[in-house]
């Protein structure tokens, strides 16, 4: 049965709202009031936000599923590139297991490839489902539950102020300056700023220096017990800082709240927070043998997929692959989109990479597009992929060569939820 996938009209949005509400019962409400508000919000987003569209899949004129797609600007190793994102993939409950989601994702990939985009990303409802479609894991998310007293209190709190909607432009500029300096970050849009201020529970504290916002905390209070109103924690949603001094100012604010707040929950892709905190333990009192104190929980989330390897390599022009010189054939397995393999000859001279027409190479390497995406984005390690049998190399002696090429790649950081 043939499918038609296209952008949804305003008149079709209530149909998609029904499908999405049923598909995500944990975050929606099945009431007429909620559906009306939800539908209006979908229409308003598509009409007013040029970086978001909604698409639907139709068979015999009936809407069976849909998705939200994003047009991103992303930092790729200090170069801002176009990237695509997909979210809110929803399938009619009566048409599950009919490859609706698979066709939607396939269309999404082809759509952005046609636009000349080399990289797309998503947050998976099931990582294994999207791994089979060629999406590779990004940087893990770590969740710390640290006592506020553990945050350093080394500087004064001078320059700290509460922020509100009147500071939108300054917050966006502060965030985007940070994003332009950190690999993997997505440039924040006006829509993102509106979402930030829609939640009445959000609190914002910023640090100003010489009239310029240098860092901020976006957080909310979370009641820990229905029986004790005094047990409250802080949940940090965003922590942006331009310098060590900015970070220490924000830490001083957190430290000062310890009289009423016990712990702070911080979700971060930084896995070295124990070097900042006086006591990084998370309060579980769990001991991992022999004597390792539990400090965090971690999870895989954002996934990346290279959809045009040739374009991606061209966007890496100017990036220094550790001053290495080598030529190797790279074979990419992609059973989802290519139904087979794609081979390139990759030439590096003093760390500068380009694709070559040469038939000769020092060695050959082969891996699937999911693991290649994780490797090239900086989330995966060559030696680990080789040890796990994910990366095949014609001569094991050259595993070290590839390791030297890709070692010390900066891991991608993404704070955008979509």
Predicted confidence (pLDDT) per residue in 330-346, tens digit: 999 999 998 889 999 99
Predicted confidence (pLDDT) per residue in 179-201, tens digit: 999 999 999 998 899 999 999 99
β-strand pairing of 340-349 with 352-356? antiparallel
Predicted confidence (pLDDT) per residue in 266-311, tens digit: 999 998 999 999 999 999 999 999 999 999 999 999 999 999 999 9
pLDDT reported for residue 226: 67
Beta bridge partners of 370: none
Predicted confidence (pLDDT) per residue in 40-68, tens digit: 999 999 999 999 999 999 999 999 999 99
pLDDT reported for residue 240: 98
Query: pLDDT averaged over the chain?
Result: 95
Tell me the pTM. Answer: 0.94
pLDDT of 30 over the 90 cut: no
Domains in the chain, please, with CATH?
Answer: 4-117 (3.40.630.30), 142-299 (3.40.630.30), 308-406 (3.30.1050.10)
Predicted confidence (pLDDT) per residue in 142-167, tens digit: 999 999 999 999 999 999 999 999 99
Q: What is the mean predicted confidence (pLDDT) over 218-226? A: 84
Distances (CA, A) of 221 to 197, 241, 295, 340: 15, 21, 21, 51
User: Quick one: pLDDT band at residue 230, thresholds 50, 70, 90?
Assistant: low
Predicted confidence (pLDDT) per residue in 354-404, tens digit: 999 888 999 999 999 999 999 999 999 999 999 999 999 999 889 999 999
pLDDT of 237 over the 90 cut: yes
* Listed range (19-23, 84-88, 260-264) with the worst mean pLDDT: 260-264
pLDDT reported for residue 150: 96
């Amino acid at each position: 049965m043939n499918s038609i996938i296209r952008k949804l009209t305003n008149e079709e949005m209530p149909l998609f709202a029904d499908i999405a509400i049923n598909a995500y019962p944990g975050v929606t409400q099945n009431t007429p009031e909620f559906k009306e508000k939800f539908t209006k919000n979908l229409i308003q987003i598509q009409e007013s936000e040029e970086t978001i569209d909604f698409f639907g899949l139709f068979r015999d004129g009936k809407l069976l599923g849909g998705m939200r797609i994003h047009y991103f600007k992303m930092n790729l190793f200090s170069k801002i590139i176009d990237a695509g994102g997909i979210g809110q993939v929803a399938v009619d409950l009566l048409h599950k297991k009919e490859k609706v989601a698979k066709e939607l994702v396939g269309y999404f990939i082809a759509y952005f490839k046609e636009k000349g985009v080399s990289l797309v990303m998503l947050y998976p409802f099931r990582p294994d489902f999207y791994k089979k479609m060629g999406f590779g894991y990004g940087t893990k998310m770590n969740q710390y539950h640290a006592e506020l007293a553990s945050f350093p209190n080394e500087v004064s709190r001078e320059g700290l102020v509460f922020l509100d909607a009147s500071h939108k432009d300054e917050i966006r500029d502060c965030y985007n300056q940070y994003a332009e300096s950190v690999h993997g970050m997505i440039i924040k849009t006006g829509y993102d700023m509106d979402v930030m201020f829609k939640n009445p529970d959000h609190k914002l504290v910023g640090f100003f220096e010489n009239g310029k916002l240098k860092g901020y905390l976006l957080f909310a209070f979370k009641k820990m017990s229905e029986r004790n109103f005094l047990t409250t924690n802080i949940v940090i949603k965003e922590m942006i800082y331009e310098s060590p001094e900015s970070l220490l100012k924000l830490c001083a604010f957190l430290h000062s709240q310890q009289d009423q707040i016990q712990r702070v929950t911080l979700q971060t892709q930084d896995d070295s927070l124990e070097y900042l905190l006086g006591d990084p333990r998370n309060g579980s009192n769990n001991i991992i043998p022999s004597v390792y104190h539990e400090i965090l929980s971690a999870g895989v989330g954002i996934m990346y997929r290279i959809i045009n390897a040739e374009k991606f390599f061209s966007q890496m022009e100017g990036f220094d692959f550790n001053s290495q010189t080598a030529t190797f054939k790279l074979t990419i397995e992609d059973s989802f989109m290519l139904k087979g393999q794609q081979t390139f000859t990759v030439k590096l001279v003093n760390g500068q990479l380009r694709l070559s027409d040469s038939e000769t190479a020092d060695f050959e390497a082969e891996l699937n597009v999911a693991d290649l995406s994780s490797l090239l984005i900086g989330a995966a390690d060559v030696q680990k992929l080789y040890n796990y049998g994910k990366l095949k190399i014609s001569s094991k002696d050259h595993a070290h060569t590839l390791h030297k090429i890709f070692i010390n790649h900066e891991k991608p950081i993404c704070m955008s939820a979509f």
